[in-house]
Structure 1
């Protein structure tokens, strides 16, 4: 029950925060207009590019699945976190920027994706190749998204877009490196012991 409530809270917090950051990052909205041209607007734009990316939503489901521990619980809380995040995102969007919703469509997508990603998160705890592949899911997913669908809402590169891309690439490379290092260190320990 505790992990379920935690996944629900994480989802609601992530979805609402993503929507608010998007609202603050837009110079055309009521919340973002007063920040236009300031360092806070640039910071909000970078955060918006990071949080409103598919890999970061996937990371939410993987993280709560990892915390759940078992595959079944991981799958359930992964789906719950994505459904809660989607609901909070669109409810906050309606209040923060008067936007319409695609909530049902994203709930339909979030349920099976959350089940799979939550189970992947739980599998990170497993030793061996399964744990390695599960732990590489988010960093590899972020790298693939950066190649296929980089966070470029404009045709021209801006400093905020470049910074967001550098942050994602750096985090993906270091995360994947750490995961591989941990895998090989465990392997050496098992062989030596």
Structure 2
């Protein structure tokens, strides 16, 4: 029950924050136009580039699955987190700047991915090779996204994109090093 509520709450907060960061970073909406050129708008652009990316949504489901612990609870938690984040994101978009919605399409994608990624999060807690591979999914996904579709690829101002890309690479490397260290430590303790 706690995992269900926690997953939903994490998703609602994540989706709303992503929408708010997008609104504050865009000078084309009423709210964003009010803060355009300010430090808040600049910080919001970086936050928008970080949160409104596939790897970060995957990380949400994996993190909820990891907290859940078991595969079944992890799958359910990942599913609920992505569904709640999607609904929260689109409801916030409609409320904050009358944006259109393709929520149903993203829910169709989010349901199976939430189940899979939540399970990956639960597996990441496990010792051994399966735990290592699961723990490397988000760092590897973030790295692939940085190569294939870097943040702010179409921005005219590159500083927010450069900052966001540096943050993603740093977090991806840190996550991979942590996963490898944990695997190495478990093997060392297991052979001692």
Q: Same fold (TM over 0.5)?
A: yes
Deviations 1:54-86 (A, max 9, x none): 000000000110111110111111011101100
* Structure 2 stretches lacking a partner, 5+ long: none
- Normalising by structure 2, we get a TM-score of 0.97
Which residue is 2:121 aligned to? 121
Distance 1:171 1:85 in 2: 22
Is the deviation greater in 146-155 or in 183-192? 146-155
- Offset, 1:128: 0.2
Distance 2:57 2:155 in 1: 24
- Normalising by structure 1, we get a TM-score of 0.97
Distance 2:156 2:8 in 1: 38
Which residue is 2:20 aligned to? 20
For the aligned residues, what is the CA RMSD? 1.0
Distance 1:31 1:105 in 2: 27
Which residue is 1:5 aligned to? 5
Which residue is 2:42 aligned to? 42
Distance 1:125 1:170 in 2: 22
Which residue is 1:130 aligned to? 130
- Offset, 1:157: 5.5
Distance 2:37 2:122 in 1: 43
Distance 1:27 1:157 in 2: 13
The answer on 1:108 being equivalent to 2:116 is no
Q: Across the two proteins, how many residue pairs are aligned to each other?
A: 192
Q: For residues 94-173 of structure 1, what are the structure 2 equivalents within 5 Å?
A: 94-154=94-154, 156=156, 158-173=158-173
- Offset, 1:37: 1.0
- Offset, 1:152: 2.0
Distance 2:8 2:160 in 1: 31
Which residue is 1:66 aligned to? 66
* Structure 1 stretches lacking a partner, 5+ long: none
Residues 155 and 29 of structure 1: is their aligned pair in 2 closer, same or farther, counting only changes over 3 Å?
closer
Runs of 4+ in 1 over 2 A off after TM superposition: none
Is the deviation greater in 122-131 or in 27-36? 27-36
